[in-house]
Amino acid sequence: MPGHFEPRPGGGASITLDEVEISILRSLAVQLMELIGPGEEPVEGADPLAALFAEGPSEPPSDPALARLFPDAYGGPDAHQGDESAKAASSEFRRFTENDLRTRKRDDAHDMVRALDALSPGPGGSAELTLDPRRSARWLGALNDLRLTIGTRLEVGDDDEGAGLYRLPDSDPRKPMVMAYLWLGVLQETLVETLMPS
């Protein structure tokens, strides 16, 4: 089966990607970074210790994809109806964790872009990507974030995994996004398998 990760001796993973696959993955990773946002630039001369304790937002994002990437810590949005203590706890948790989580997710996607940019497709138009165990974990995070984002845009529920999406006609404008979602699922699944001990 083409386009899946294989384990490497000593840890890590490798995959052969063609130019189209490289381009699609890179484009998706860049779009993910744009969705997450640029992050806060440190103020010149600012106290680095104070930056460690910088507070983030206390409210969940209004964009459904961002809300999926940065969910409430205590239940979902509907769980807070009438439960002010859960809402307050979620807000407090978000204030002190979301900035770091955004940074990590952005860094994972940026690592994906850097790795793809370093590839040089050969005469056949494909290149082998090799990831060490640390980079494999970063890619796994980025693939998961991409699938969550696309799944949210496609309105894939937790229960159905979008069963109806498999039967979309080719003329449906969502079809390319569905194909990307399914392909990312294969990449994610095979990368997980390479990280599992034999």
Question: What confidence tens digit (pLDDT) does each residue in 61-114 have?
Answer: 889 999 999 988 876 555 545 567 877 887 888 888 888 999 999 999 999 999
Looking at residue 1, what is its pLDDT? 38
Phi (first) and psi of residue 18, to 5 degrees: -90, 175
Which residue, 59, 69, 60, is CA-closest to 36?
A: 69
| pLDDT value of position 59 | 81
Residues of the chain with pLDDT under 70: 1-2, 39-54, 75-83, 158-163, 198
Handedness of CA 5, 155, 179, 24 (dihedral sign): negative
Give φ, ψ of 54 to 5 degrees.
Answer: -65, 140
**Domain range annotation of the chain:** 6-37+58-69+102-195
In this prediction, residue 110 carries a pLDDT of 97
**Tokens at residue 182, please?**
């399914």
**Cα separation, 174 vs 4, whole angstroms:** 23
